[in-house]
Amino acid sequence: MRGLIAVILLDLKRLWVDRVRLATSLIQPLLYLFVLGSGLGASSVMGGRGYLHYIFPGVLGLSLLFSSVFAAMLIVFDRQIGFLKAVLVAPVPRVSIALGKVLSGALQALVPATVLLLLVPVLGLGLSPLRFVELIASMWLAALTFSALGVATAARFRSTTVFPIIGNAVLLPLFFLSGALYPLDRAPAWLRALAHADPVAYAVDLMRGAVIGRYAYPPALSVGVLTGFVVVLTWLATRVFAAGENL
């Protein structure tokens, strides 16, 4: 337990002293929402405000996905400079390191997403307290899933040159398949089939359901799928940290 806390505390302290990263993470989601929302909304059949309501959960997803994966990528950086070695050689259970990294990535991603929540009244979403709690809970689950995805990936890499590759080859497809910015119900069947394998799709749908009251997948299924992703990915990351060869 102490090891878990140490992993999280270390990361949060580092976010706190890195004011540039902190400020960027606060500003970036607002850009997403207004630039994407007004730009795409003007040409959308759903009309301005309706579309903003539709993409708000999508933007939450975008922000959570990129922030948590970016936080996880710092593991690769730590490995490159040698700092990770000092952490890995500490007598901390490997599962605590993996879980700590997943939790700290989720927490770091929830900072900007929470800023976005300030827009709930501005956008006139009119959420009941229950819906609001539902939204928060699904944000947590989404953040944990994306963070676990990031940690399980980052744990395997030794060089930061993989960052753009992961960004282009993993994150963008996951995001575009998720239905975050546009509904997939009129998309070709193969695209919709692929979306079934995309955790981001379940996460966004869960958040969107909390906001607009309509789900594409049964919420219980989404919660089950996302929880499964978190458990499996955290286990995979634990295995990498436990390998012990060439720390």
Partner 1 sequence: MSGSADPRDPRGDSGGPGEIAIEARSLHKRYGAVHALRGIDLVVRRGEMFALLGPNGAGKTTLFSILATLLRPSEGEARVLGHDTVRERARVRERIGIVFQEPALEGKLSVRDNLYLMGLFYRLSSRAAKARSEELLHTLGLEEVAEREAQKLSGGQKRRVELARALVASPDLLFLDEATLGLDVDARRQFWGEARRYSQRGGTVFLTTHYMDEAEPADRIALIDHGRILALDTPQALKNRIGGGVLLLATADDARAAAWLRERGFEPEVGARGVLLVVPEPAAVLPEVLAQLPVRTHRAEIHEPSLEDVFLKLTGRALEDGQAAPRARGPSGPGAAQ
What are the tokens at 66? 């990129």
Question: Applying CB under 8 A, which of residues 43, 45, 81, 188 lies at the interface with partner 1?
Answer: 81
Residues 93-152 that bind partner 1 (CB under 8 A): 93
Instruction: Please count the residues of the chain.
Output: 247
Q: Does 86 bind partner 1 (CB under 8 A)?
A: yes
Residues 188-227 that bind partner 1 (CB under 8 A): none
Nearer to partner 1, 14 or 131 (CB): 14
Cα separation, 150 vs 74, in Å, equals 10
Cα separation, 173 vs 164, in Å, equals 13
Distance of CA 45 to the CA centre of its chain: 28
Question: Applying CB under 8 A, which of residues 22, 26, 40, 92 lies at the interface with partner 1?
Answer: 92
Question: Applying CB under 8 A, which of residues 34, 83, 132, 217 lies at the interface with partner 1?
Answer: 83
Q: How far is the CB of 224 from partner 1 (least distance, A)?
A: 34
Alpha helices, DSSP H, located in the chain: 2-17, 19-31, 37-42, 48-81, 83-88, 94-117, 119-122, 129-154, 163-166, 172-176, 189-195, 199-212, 219-243
Question: 3-class DSSP state for residue 2?
Answer: helix
Q: Give CA angle at 204 (16, 31), nearest 5°.
A: 50
Q: Does 14 bind partner 1 (CB under 8 A)?
A: yes
Q: Tell me the site size for partner 1, rule CB under 8 A.
A: 25
Q: Does 10 bind partner 1 (CB under 8 A)?
A: yes
Question: Applying CB under 8 A, which of residues 85, 156, 158, 196 lies at the interface with partner 1?
Answer: 85
Q: Does 246 bind partner 1 (CB under 8 A)?
A: yes
Q: Does 164 bind partner 1 (CB under 8 A)?
A: no
* Among the listed residues 208, 203, 152, 156, the one whose alpha carbon sits nearest the alpha carbon of residue 175: 203
Q: How far is the CB of 73 from partner 1 (least distance, A)?
A: 16
Residues near partner 1, by CB under 8 A = 2-3, 5-6, 9-10, 13-14, 17-18, 81-83, 85-87, 89-93, 244-247
